[in-house]
Amino acid sequence: MARSNITSGRLALVATPKFKNRSLAQLSAFVFEFLYLLARRYDVVSTGLTYSQIESIVGLSLPQLREAGALRFIARDLGVEPRTEEDLTAWRSVILKGLSKYEVGTIGLLGIANELVEKRLDGVFHFHDAEDLANRPGSLVLRREANVHDIPIALDLATARELADRFCGDEPVLEAQGGWGSSEDRCLAVISHDGKKLDLCQFVVEHADQIMAHDRILATGTTGHWVRKFMKSMGFADSEVAKIKPYQSGPHGGDVQIARAVMEGRCRTVIFFEDPLDALPHEVDVRLFAQAVIESGNVRFATNASTARLLLARREAVEMAAGGVR
């Protein structure tokens, strides 16, 4: 399958201090696996502290990189296994040449948020701890602006790996199966705020075959009933439509029900069309849901159409690479 129509330009990579302190290994793993490939194709912008952390990660010695499991990715990038510190120079050079930085702290986040508003970013990788959802306005602003302007955004490592794979070129970087083969991966959750329900239904109609290829589709109450009606109107059989399971509505606890399914490992892909222009009476449930997704550590999480589109395209590419076997 051809890659999505992504404009070669700029990406943002930002990690909050709390994420760097608690999950440095995850940030390092992402840098080793993808940053060389991304930096060859994009200008990757970061805030000052994230830039410094990346410098430290790629500046590790050869023995340290070997211990971290990075050498297989570096060998893939360079086409030869690095054996000396000098062999690492070209790898480091590509990454640091493709990386640029904004100021430290709030002013740097504002700079990247402004790039989103001006639509000068093709995607955002924003690694943050679940606690940052309530305590860091900058994190909320980046997420909000990405959703307002429908820019792909990854808020966790699982989603970041899938999006990075889509940004990296013509051939998938991740293994063919890529973690999409289990029963949990055959389950999809679709949720939307009231102001985004029509947008979600339009998205579902446009991607009906990809959506209905899942074995189970979880949804909050109103959204689920709408999706069922649209699928029936498109001619899907009752047995197929029955895969769509509406829970309670969001204000009545549907977000909590699906969050539990996510935390228990029963669902690993979530499309949640958030309305960034409207405050919600059950905002505490929504934040709990997002926290559950991020804390689970292995859930793909799309909060707007462009991110969801890339995740579905990645899943379709996996199935095609596997010969279309479900």
pLDDT mean over 290-297: 74
> What mean pLDDT, rounded, does the chain reach?
85
Is 3.40.50.1380 the CATH number for 184-321? yes
The pTM assigned to this predicted structure is 0.85
pLDDT at 234: 92
- Sign of the C-alpha dihedral computed for residues 211, 215, 219 and 221 taken in this order: positive
pLDDT mean over 80-96: 93
pLDDT at 143: 86
The partner residues of 192 in beta bridges, in order of sequence, read 273
Cβ atoms of 310 and 163 closer than 8 Å:
yes
Domain(s) of CATH 3.40.50.1380: residues in the chain: 10-167, 184-321
pLDDT at 271: 94
pLDDT at 108: 87
b/e 295-326 (16+ beta carbons within 10 angstroms → b): ebeebbbbbbbbbbbbbbbbbbbbbebeeeee
Per-residue pLDDT at 63 exceeds 70: yes
What is the Cα–Cα distance from 43 to 195, expressed in whole angstroms? 34
Rounded to the nearest angstrom, the gap between the alpha carbon of residue 71 and the centroid of all alpha carbons in its chain is: 25
* More confidently predicted of 283 and 230: 230
Q: What pLDDT digit, counting tens, does each position of 9-32 carry?
A: 999 999 988 888 888 999 999 999
pLDDT at 65: 96
Active site residues: 255
* More confidently predicted of 114 and 180: 114
pLDDT mean over 92-103: 94
Q: What pLDDT digit, counting tens, does each position of 175-207 carry?
A: 544 455 566 678 999 998 888 889 999 999 999
Fold designation for 10-167: Rossmann fold (3.40.50)
pLDDT at 318: 78
Tokens 């912008």 locate to 45
Which range among 15-19, 95-99, 160-164, 277-281 shows the weakest confidence by mean pLDDT?
277-281
Report DSSP letters for 150-194, one per residue.
T--EE-SHHHHHHHHHHHS-SS--S-SSTT--STGGGEEEEEE-G
